[in-house]
Amino acid sequence: MRPRLTTKDYIDGILNGDRMVLSRAITLVESRLSGDRELAQQVLMGVLPHTGNSSRIGITGVPGVGKSTFIEVFGQHVVSMGKSLAVLTVDPSSQRSGGSILGDKTRMEVLSHHPLAYIRPSATGSSLGGVAHRTREAMLLCEAAGYEIILIETVGVGQSETLVRSMTDFFLLLMLAGAGDELQGIKKGIMEMADAIAITKTDGSNRPLAEQAVSEYRNALHLFSLSESGWNAPVVTCSATENEGIGEIWDLIQNYLTLIHANGYFHKSRQNQNVDWLRSLIRQQLEDRFFIHPEIAEQWADTEQAVRSGVELPLPAAQRLLHRFFKEE
Amino acid sequence: MRPRLTTKDYIDGILNGDRMVLSRAITLVESRLSGDRELAQQVLMGVLPHTGNSSRIGITGVPGVGKSTFIEVFGQHVVSMGKSLAVLTVDPSSQRSGGSILGDKTRMEVLSHHPLAYIRPSATGSSLGGVAHRTREAMLLCEAAGYEIILIETVGVGQSETLVRSMTDFFLLLMLAGAGDELQGIKKGIMEMADAIAITKTDGSNRPLAEQAVSEYRNALHLFSLSESGWNAPVVTCSATENEGIGEIWDLIQNYLTLIHANGYFHKSRQNQNVDWLRSLIRQQLEDRFFIHPEIAEQWADTEQAVRSGVELPLPAAQRLLHRFFKEE
Ligand SMILES: Nc1nc2c(ncn2[C@@H]2O[C@H](COP(=O)(O)OP(=O)(O)OP(=O)(O)O)[C@@H](O)[C@H]2O)c(=O)[nH]1
Ligand SMILES: Nc1nc2c(ncn2[C@@H]2O[C@H](COP(=O)(O)OP(=O)(O)OP(=O)(O)O)[C@@H](O)[C@H]2O)c(=O)[nH]1
Ligand SMILES: [Mg+2]
Ligand SMILES: [Mg+2]
C-alpha cells in the first residue's frame, strides 16, 4: 500500500503539477469515507486560491456520437499549440462504469501519452448532485495543477448536461446527421443549452446528410432567443477520423471566449457559478445529512414505495420523516 | 373581520364545493404565518383522499401571447359541455403581481361569472419552490372541491414552466407567428416540454404567417425524440377572438388523455408526480428551515456577497453556515 499523503503533500504536489499526486487527490475527493472527506476538504481549501484560471469546456452528445474520438483529435490540436489540457468525464449511470468510458484512455491513445495532457475517466455514481460536486472538485484540482484547458465529457442522455453546463464556460453539443433513429436518445432541451453544435462524422458518404443536418439545426436554433452571452450558437461540421473542422471549432471557442471576456459575461457567469455552487453545496449537504441519518435510511425505501402506490400521501410522509430527522416531538 | 374557520369548517366547505371556503382555504395555504401553515396542513390532510380526479392542464407562453384570452374562450367551451373548471395562475415574479395577472378576472369576464368556473389569480412569490408548493396545494383544494378540469396558466419566461409541467398531465405552449422579436422572450427548452403547440391569434392578416410558423415548429419538433408518453406533440393554430381552433385543442387533449390512460403512462406519471412531490417537499423543508434559522438569516446576505465577489470561497462558506445550522464544533 502506498503511504498516506499529508495535506501538505497533496497541496504541494498538485501545485507543482505532479500528476501522480493529482490523480490521488481526485481519488480522494471521490471517496465517500468520512475521514477522506475531511482531508479532501483541507486539500481543496489549500489549492482554491490557485483555481479559476482555465477555460472550461463541456462536451456532450448521445452514446456513439464520437465524443471520445473527437476529444482525442481536438486535444491533440490543443496541445500542439503548447496549451495544457485536462479531460474529465461525467457519467452518472454507474452501470456504464464498466463500459465505454473506462475504455477511453485506450481510445485516446495518442493524447493520453502527451506530456501536456491529463485524462481522467471518472465521476460515476448514483446521486447526480454527488457526481456534480466530485466533478467540480476534480476540475478545481486540475486547475490548481496548472491545466489551461479543461474538457468535461458527459453523455447527453440524462440530466448531467445541465450540471456540466453550469460549471463550464462553453458547451459543445455533438450531433449525428440524419435526424432519424440516432436522435432518439437526445434529451429534449439539450440543444438549447449549446453554445455550438457540431455534426460529427462528416466524412465519406455522410457528407450530404451532414450538410442537410446543418441547415436543419440552424433553422431550429433560430427559433430560440439570443442567449444572455450575446452569442449566436453556430452549427458546424467536423470529422475526427479525417481531422477536418477541428481547428475551426477551436477557433470559434476562442472567439466566444474573447466576446464574453469583452462584454463582461465571463466575469458575471463565473460569479454566478460561485453563488450557484454555494447554494448547491448547502442543498446537497442538507439532503446528504437527511438521507444518511440512520432512521431515515431505514424508513426511506418503504416510505417511497407507500407514496408511489398511493398508500401514504406525500405531505404526511414528508412531515413524518422531517420530524424524525429534526428529533421533534 | 370574518370569523376564523375551524379545520372541520374548511374541510366540509371544500368538499361541499363552497367557493367562499375554497377561496379562503387557498389564501390559507398561501399564508406564511406559522399558525396558518399548521391549519393549512390539517385541512390538506383532510381533503387529500378526495384529490387526484381532475385532468390537470398547464398553459404557458410569453407575456401577451394571449394566454388569458385563450383561457376565457377555451374555458367557455369546457363549461358548455357541462364540465367544471378551475383556473389557477403561477407568476413567480412578484413585481408582476400588480400587473396583468391581477387583471385576469376582468379579462375572463364571461368565464368568471359562469357557475361551473372558478378563477383564482394567485401564487406569486420570491421562492420558486414556495410558489410550486402553494400552487400544488391550491390545485388539490380545487380537486377536492370537485373541479374536473384544472388549468394552470404560467408565464413562459422563467423556470415556473418546469414546475407546472411536473404537476400537470398535459402541457400546452402558446406561441406567436413570425419567429422574430416576439420569440425573444421564450426560454430555451420550453418548446421541448410541450405536449402541443398552438399558434395564437391566427386571424386577419396573421393567417399566412401562422401557417408558416406551424410548419417551422413541426420541423423543429421532429428533431427531438418521441416523448415517453408515446405522444407526438402536434402544432395547431387557433384564434381566441374568432373562436377558431378552440374545440380542436380540447379534442386533442382528450385524445392525449385517452392514449395515456390506455398505455399506462397516466398512472405512471401520477405515481412519479407523487414521489417527486415527496422529494421536493423534503428538499424544500430542509432549505426553508435552513434559511429561516436566525443565525443563517443574519449572515446570508453578507456570505452571498462575499462569495460572489470572490472574497470567500463557496466551499468554506457552505461549511461555516452548515456548522452553525447543525450547532456543530
Ligand atoms: N466515420 C467516422 N467515425 C467516427 C468518427 N468519430 C468517431 N467515429 C466512430 O464512432 C464510434 C463511436 O465513437 P466514440 O468516440 O467512442 O463515441 P462516444 O460519443 O465517445 O461514445 P460513448 O463514450 O459510448 O458515449 C467509434 O466506432 C468511432 O470510430 C468520425 O469522425 N468519422
Ligand atoms: N387578434 C387577436 N388578438 C388576441 C387574441 N388573443 C389575445 N389577443 C390580444 O393579445 C393581447 C394579450 O392578450 P392576453 O390574453 O392578455 O395575453 P397573456 O398571454 O395572458 O398576457 P400576460 O398575462 O401578460 O402574460 C390582448 O390585447 C388581446 O386582446 C386573438 O386570438 N387574436
Ligand atoms: Mg466516449
Ligand atoms: Mg394573462
Instruction: Tell me, yes or no, if B323 comes closer than 8 A to chain A by beta carbon.
Output: no
> A161 or B285: which carries more pLDDT confidence?
B285
Amino acid, single-letter form, for residue A277: W
Pair B265, A299: CB distance under 8 Å: no
Q: How far apart are CA B195 and CA B256, in angstroms?
A: 9
Ligand whose nearest atom lies closest to the CA of B202: 2
- Residue A96: per-residue pLDDT: 37
Q: How far apart are CA B283 and CA A21, in angstroms?
A: 36
Q: Is the dihedral of CA A284, A288, A289, A291 positive or negative?
A: positive
pLDDT class for B264, splitting at 50, 70, 90?
Answer: very high
Ligand 1 contacts (CB < 6 A) are A 61, 63-69, 100-101, 107, 155, 200-201, 203, 239-241
Whose C-alpha lies nearest to ligand 2, atom 12? B64
Mutation pick from A225, A269, A309, A311 vs chain B, by most beta carbons of B within 10 Å, is A225
Instruction: Provide block-wise average pLDDT over 10 residues at a time, chain A (329 residues).
Output: 87 96 93 82 91 94 88 97 94 45 65 93 62 86 97 77 87 81 53 89 92 84 75 94 97 96 94 88 89 93 91 87 86
Residue written as grid cell 476534480: A138
The grid coordinates of residue A43 equal: 486539500
Distance A231 CA to ligand 1 centre (A): 28
Following CA atoms A58, A64, A69, A70 in sequence, which dihedral angle do they give, to the nearest 10 degrees? -40
- Residue B169: per-residue pLDDT: 95
pLDDT class for B182, splitting at 50, 70, 90?
Answer: very low
- Residue A92: per-residue pLDDT: 59
Q: How far apart are CA A182 and CA A200, in angstroms?
A: 12
Q: Which of A186, A192, A222 sits opposite B189 (nearest CB)?
A: A192
Mutation pick from B199, B282, B323 vs chain A, by most beta carbons of A within 10 Å, is B282
Distance B118 CA to ligand 3 centre (A): 53
b/e map B112-147, b = 16+ CB within 10 Å: bebebbbbbbbbbbeebbbbbbbbbbbbbbbbbbbb
Q: How far apart are CA A177 and CA A198, in angstroms?
A: 10
Q: Which of residues 112-151 of A touch B (CB under 8 A)?
A: none
DSSP B187: P
Instruction: Tell me, yes or no, if A278 comes closer than 8 A to chain B by beta carbon.
Output: yes
**Regarding the domain delimited by B52-262, which CATH topology (the fold level of the hierarchy) does it fall under?**
Rossmann fold (3.40.50)
- Residue B277: per-residue pLDDT: 86
The grid coordinates of residue B110 equal: 364571461
The ranges of chain A annotated as CATH 3.40.50.300 are: 52-262
- Residue A126: per-residue pLDDT: 53
Q: Do A223 and B191 touch (CB under 8 A)?
A: yes
Distance from CA of A179 to the nearest CA of B (A): 6
Q: Which of residues 57-116 of A touch B (CB under 8 A)?
A: none
Show residues of chain B in contact with A300, CB under 8 Å.
none
Instruction: Tell me, yes or no, if A274 comes closer than 8 A to chain B by beta carbon.
Output: yes
Q: Is the pLDDT of residue B121 over 50?
A: yes
- Residue B62: per-residue pLDDT: 79
- Residue A93: per-residue pLDDT: 53
Instruction: Tell me, yes or no, if B223 comes closer than 8 A to chain A by beta carbon.
Output: yes
The answer, yes or no, to whether any atom of ligand 2 lies below 6 A from the CB of B237, is no
Cβ neighbour number for residue A106 with a 10 Å cutoff: 9
Nearest to B93 by CA among B163, B154, B153: B154
Strand runs labelled E in chain A: 55-61, 85-91, 117-124, 149-155, 170-175, 196-199, 235-237
B93-97, B119-123, B200-204: range with lowest mean pLDDT: B93-97
Q: Do B318 and A290 touch (CB under 8 A)?
A: no
Show residues of chain B in contact with A220, CB under 8 Å.
219-220, 223
Instruction: Tell me, yes or no, if A224 comes closer than 8 A to chain B by beta carbon.
Output: yes
- Residue A278: per-residue pLDDT: 92
> DSSP assignment of A40-74, as one string?
HHHHHHHHGGG-S-SEEEEEEESTTSSHHHHHHHH
Q: Which of A285, A290, A307 sits opposite B274 (nearest CB)?
A: A307
Q: How far apart are CA A172 and CA A248, in angstroms?
A: 13
pLDDT class for B94, splitting at 50, 70, 90?
Answer: very low
Instruction: Tell me, yes or no, if A304 comes closer than 8 A to chain B by beta carbon.
Output: yes
pLDDT class for B64, splitting at 50, 70, 90?
Answer: confident
What pTM value is reported for the model? 0.70
List the single residue in A with minimal CA-CA distance to B272. A308
Ligand whose nearest atom lies closest to the CA of B185: 2
Q: Do B274 and A326 touch (CB under 8 A)?
A: no
The ranges of chain B annotated as CATH 1.20.5.170 are: 1-50
pLDDT class for B155, splitting at 50, 70, 90?
Answer: confident
Whose C-alpha lies nearest to ligand 2, atom 7? B66
Q: Is the pLDDT of residue B184 over 60?
A: no
B198 strand-pairing partners:
B174, B236
Q: How far apart are CA A309 and CA B87, in angstroms?
A: 28
At the top level of CATH, the class of B1-50 is mainly alpha
> B229 or A84: which carries more pLDDT confidence?
A84
A233-237, B130-134, B249-253, B324-328: range with lowest mean pLDDT: B130-134
Show residues of chain A in contact with B216, CB under 8 Å.
219, 223
Q: Do A290 and B277 touch (CB under 8 A)?
A: no
The answer, yes or no, to whether any atom of ligand 2 lies below 6 A from the CB of B125, is no
